[in-house]
Amino acid sequence: MSASDRRGWIERARRLYATPIGGRFIRYTLVSVFNVVFSVAVVSIVFGVFRIWTEVPSTLFANVVTIPPAYYLTRTWAWGKSGRSHLMREVVPFWVMTLAGIALSIATSSAARHLGIAHHLSRTDRTALLVMANLLAFGVTWIGKFLALNVLFREPPARQVELTFTDTSVTR
């Protein structure tokens, strides 16, 4: 990629970031990248290094550990919300979407486990396959979650006050 191509990408990213939805999308993407790195690190450590559990419990543990920082960063940095979270409008839907993603990642990690066993893969190869399975599962849910969070975390529109003007002409 040439220097002018890079400058073009940077300029397009700046223009996108300057829009309200583009800024949220870029910040959400960065939070997602952080959470993926965090989750991959945890699953690699508990499954690949310490061999604490098999693929599915390791995946479940890694994904549950990442939920609190994911919620906090998504709410405060990606959408700029502050103050108390609303349980039914923010917390519960976030957890439901996250748990749906975890359910999908459990299915893909189970498939990765069966593939690893069936093909007699090494622990390193099984760890790589498990990481790819998790990335696939969360990649599938990523856009849908962004669209839903954009609705959940948006600020309610300001109340519009209807003004009524009456005829106040002065009669003599």
Q: Element (H or E) spanning 84, and its range?
A: none
pLDDT tens, N- to C-terminus, the chain (172 residues): 788 888 888 898 899 889 988 899 899 999 999 998 999 999 999 999 999 999 999 999 999 999 999 999 999 998 889 999 999 988 998 888 888 888 998 999 999 999 999 999 999 999 999 989 988 888 888 888 888 888 877 766 555 445 444 555 555 4
Cβ(59)–Cβ(43) under 8 Å?
A: yes
Confirm whether 105 is domain-assigned.
Answer: yes
Confirm whether 45 is domain-assigned.
Answer: yes
Confirm whether 171 is domain-assigned.
Answer: no
Backbone torsions φ then ψ of 119, nearest 5 degrees: -100, 10
Confirm whether 164 is domain-assigned.
Answer: no
Confirm whether 65 is domain-assigned.
Answer: yes
Q: Element (H or E) spanning 163, and its range?
A: none
Confirm whether 15 is domain-assigned.
Answer: yes
The structure's pTM equals: 0.74
Confirm whether 87 is domain-assigned.
Answer: yes
Number of domains observed in the structure of the chain: 1
Question: In terms of residue numbers, what domain contains 137?
Answer: 3-152
* Sequence letter at residue 2: S
Angle (CA) 103 50 125, round 5°: 65
Confirm whether 167 is domain-assigned.
Answer: no
